[in-house]
Copies of this chain bind each other. A is one copy, B any other.
Amino acid sequence: MARTSGSHSQITGPRLRAAALRLFARHGYAAVSMRQIAAEVGVQAGALYNYIPDKQGLLADLMRSHLEELLAAWDLEPKGTGPLDALEAFTRFHIRFHLERPDAVFIAYMELRNLDPRNFAEIEALRKRYETGLEDILRAGRAAGVFDLPDTKLATLAVIAMLTGVTTWYRPGGRLSAERVAALYWEMVRKAVGA
């Protein structure tokens, strides 16, 4: 990207976040320098500090934005009627949302240990809120006799781990479309919860 001079406040901010997201996902937060990010944005390293307080704040921002977007999108998702519909909606939503944002997902799962304690608590609370959304569905379905689950909490964690795992191997243009992947996972989830 050509280096320019002058003011670009509308442009540099988003570009900074996009570059950091890509580089952190590819190489890891600790392995990426502010100079690398700046080079990708097309400015000098010092200029980045007009947009972020420090490197740690940048990481926390990326993770917070991702999780807030996730929660907002799930809130807006149609959930049908009853726990079985809701679980199918969750499964398809989770896979679609995560496959559309591989870099942000990767960072949100891998860089938790690089958050300082204050940021970690905040991010962890957001992650937990999303998890609770699934847990509520499973508990309701169990109470209604629709699901057969000996341990709702464990089932919640097992289902999320299984679904999120899709991001480690799925590549667009591969053997299966995202739609087909979601359908296959839904069938496995449905059976796993005894529905």
Which residues in A have some Cβ–Cβ distance to B below 8 Å? 26-31, 110, 113-114, 148, 150-151, 154-155, 157-162, 164-166, 168-169, 176, 181, 184-185, 187-189, 191-194
Q: A113-B28, A191-B192 are in contact. Are A161 and B150 (CB under 8 A)?
A: no
- Residues of B contacting A193 with CB < 8 Å? 188, 191
Indicate if the CB atoms of A113 and B26 lie closer than 8 Å: yes
Per DSSP, chain A at the interface is helix
Q: A30-B31, A114-B28, A114-B31 are in contact. Are A162 and B154 (CB under 8 A)?
A: no
A150 to B187, CA, bound (A): 9
Contact sample, A vs B, 10 pairs, CB 8 Å cutoff: A27-B113, A27-B114, A28-B30, A30-B31, A110-B110, A154-B181, A157-B165, A158-B188, A191-B191, A191-B194
- Residues of B contacting A29 with CB < 8 Å? 28
Indicate if the CB atoms of B165 and A161 lie closer than 8 Å: yes
Minimum Cβ distance to chain B for residue A117 (Å): 14
A176 to B150, CA, bound (A): 12
- Residues of B contacting A161 with CB < 8 Å? 161-162, 164-166, 168
